[in-house]
Amino acid sequence: MADPAPGPATPSRLFRGRHTGSWFGVPPSGDQVEFRVTDLDRFRNGWRSEHWAVADAVTLLRRTDALP
């Protein structure tokens, strides 16, 4: 099986949800929140050999008022 592409692939995904429960001590607001996650995968011999995910946690914390 051939590797899908040379080097790591870096798709970015947008997650959306609603703040419905207490989180980091912040009561639920009912507001819609969204944040991005970027995945980096490395393939060797047709198998995924490494996976790294980087979430935009600062945006998520700010949109739920857990950070000013």
Cα 4–Cα 56–Cα 65 angle in degrees, nearest 5: 155
Q: Report yes or no on 40 lying in a domain.
A: yes
Domain, as residue range, for 28: 12-63
pLDDT for position 42: 83
Q: Write b or e for each residue in 23-40: b if 16 or more Cβ atoms lie within 10 A of its Cβ, otherwise e.
A: beeeeeeeeebebeeeee
**Residues 2-48 pLDDT 10s:** 455 555 566 788 999 999 999 888 999 999 999 999 888 888 888 88
pLDDT of 1 strictly over 50: no
The domain total for the chain is: 1
Is 68 among the domain residues? no
On whether residue 1 sits in a domain, the answer given is no
Residue 6 lies in a domain: no
Instruction: Indicate whether 5 belongs to any domain.
Output: no
Query: Does residue 43 sit within a domain?
Result: yes
Q: Are 59 and 36 in contact (CB under 8 A)?
A: yes
CATH label of the domain that carries residue 22:
3.10.450.50
